[in-house]
Amino acid sequence: MTTPPFTGSIDFKLAIGAFDVRVLRQARLTYAYVPAWSYYDVRSGTERSGEFQLEVSLSILALPRSDRSRTSDIPTKRYWAPLGQLLTIGILSTRVHHQLRCRVDAEARDADRRHRLHVGWPAPDLPEQI
Amino acid sequence: MALTLGVKIGEVVDIAEHWVAVLSIDTRDSATLISNEGRKIEVSARGMTEMVPEVWIGLGPDATRSRLRLVFEAPRNIPITRRHD
């Protein structure tokens, strides 16, 4: 499989609640994206159109020191804990998945615009200019 | 890892040593796949179906008459690729 043209990460806050206790954590969505629209391919220097593909993984910044009841076997440093299965259909709402795809697509469009301008190609207007 | 692939009816996706092909798009929220074993697999935008151990398949929302988005949840070491003839 070829490397997807758009890769990156999006940080956001994730609230998790259980037993009347709520914690707020930093979450990081890492993506590799092939859009269904035509894009400037940096590697080949040509315009390409691909078939839609979006690979995402999700991590949460664990804060062991925030847990007062910690024991010695819990890591004391912050670390990114994988939580990809949270993206399984039915756990988060359809609206969250929709927003996630929109954010990734918007970042890819921004990157594509920068790539086109960098090589002197015409670029689509920013959404605010339409 | 969650992977979403845009596919059409008849297209094949390889999943390690297995494969699935899109047999039909039944509604905007459901479709039928067929596996290499000849087993029909109903997939839905309302939940995920376990195709083989550790590999779950669902459907992205708003499928059209000929195109849909398959959502895969699987360990990263299981290769999932669109087959190009």
Residue-range domain boundaries for chain B:
2-82
Asked if B46 lies within 8 A of A90 by C-beta distance, the reply is yes
Residue A92 corresponds to which tokens in the numbers above? Answer: 């988060």
Give the whole-angstrom CA distance, residue A102 versus residue A97. 9
List CB contacts (< 8 A) between A51 and chain B: 5-7, 82
Residue B54 forms contact with A (CB below 8 Å): no
ipTM confidence: 0.83
Is A126 a residue whose pLDDT tops 80? no
Instruction: Tell me the nearest-neighbour CA distance from B70 into chain A, angstroms.
Output: 10
Residue A57 corresponds to which tokens in the numbers above? Answer: 């993984």
Asked if A54 lies within 8 A of B45 by C-beta distance, the reply is no
- Confidence label for A69 from pLDDT (cuts 50, 70 and 90): low
- Which of A67 and A98 is assigned the larger pLDDT? A98
Q: Judge whether A59 and A28 are in contact, CB under 8 Å.
A: yes
Q: Judge whether B54 and B64 are in contact, CB under 8 Å.
A: no
Written as one letter, the residue type at A8 is: G
Domain extents in chain A: 6-121
Give the whole-angstrom CA distance, residue A89 versus residue A121. 39
- Confidence label for A88 from pLDDT (cuts 50, 70 and 90): confident
Q: Judge whether A75 and A46 are in contact, CB under 8 Å.
A: no
B53 φ/ψ angles, rounded to the nearest 5 degrees = -50, 130
Low-confidence ranges of chain B (pLDDT < 50): none
- Confidence label for A115 from pLDDT (cuts 50, 70 and 90): very high
**Under 8 Å CB-to-CB from A70, ≥6 apart: which residues?**
A64, A76
